[in-house]
Chain A
Amino acid sequence: EDQVTQSPEALRLQEGESSSLNCSYTVSGLRGLFWYRQDPGKGPEFLFTLYSAGEEKEKERLKATLTKKESFLHITAPKPEDSATYLCAVLPFSSGSARQLTFGSGTQLTVLP
C-alpha cells in the first residue's frame, strides 16, 4: 500500500529563518511526486512535480528535491505570506486505471514577522 508521511506536523519560523519540510514515501513504483500549498478555506495549489531521484525544482523561495525514499521542500528566507499547509502527494505507476494521488497529512507552516 502506498504511504506518505510528512514531518514535522507543524513548524513555526521567524521571517528569514530558512528550514526544510520532509516527505517520506513508500510506493511500488513512483510515477511522480507532487508538492501543493493549501491556504485555509481553499483547495490545494500546485507547486512542483518531481519525477526521478536527483531532480530539483525551484520557485521563488521554495526548492523541492527528490531521493528514492523522500522529498524535501526547502524554504529560504521565508516571509509571512509563505504561511500555509504544504502537502506532499505521490502518484504510483499502475497497470490499471488508477491515476489518483496519495497525500500526506501536511506540514502547517507559520512564518512570524
Chain B
Amino acid sequence: GAGVSQSPRYKVAKRGQDVALRCDPISGHVSLFWYQQALGQGPEFLTYFQNEAQLDKSGLPSDRFFAERPEGSVSTLKIQRTQQEDSAVYLCASSLFSDGSYNEQFFGPGTRLTVL
C-alpha cells in the first residue's frame, strides 16, 4: 500500500518568498505530524493534527509558519516570508490512532527547503 507522500521533494526559495509544502498521509490515519530536521540532527516537532483539528502547534518556530488539514487527510505547511534559518528538511508523519495505542508514526520522504 502507499505510504506517506510529500511534495515537492525539493524547494528552493528566495528570502522573503512564501512556500507551501504538501503531505498526503496514509489513508485512514487519524493523526498527522510535521517535523523539521536540520542537517545532522533528529527531527523536531512542529505541529500535530487529529483529523482536521490542530491540537498542538507548540513547535512552530514563529507566526510565519502555518499548517492546515481542512478535510482531515491532506495537510499543507505554509511558511511566509522565508528566512535562511528556515532551510531544513520538513518531514510529515502519520499514525493510525490518536488514543495512545499503536503509536507508531510513519514518515514521508521529506521536503528539502533551501532559502537563498
Q: Which residues of A contact B (CB under 8 A)?
A: 4, 31-32, 34, 36, 41-46, 49, 87, 89, 91, 96-106
Contacts and interface: CB of A to CB of B under 8 A. Distances in A.
B56 A99 contact: yes
Nearest to A42: B109
Contacts of B44: 103
B42 A105 contact: yes
Contacts, number: 69
Interface string B85-116: 00000010101001010011111111000000
Given A31-B100, A99-B48, A100-B56, A43 B42 contact: no
A34 B41 contact: no
Given A99-B98, A101-B45, A91 B103 contact: yes
Interface residues of B, number: 29
7 contacts: A43-B109, A46-B105, A87-B43, A89-B42, A99-B33, A99-B103, A106-B42
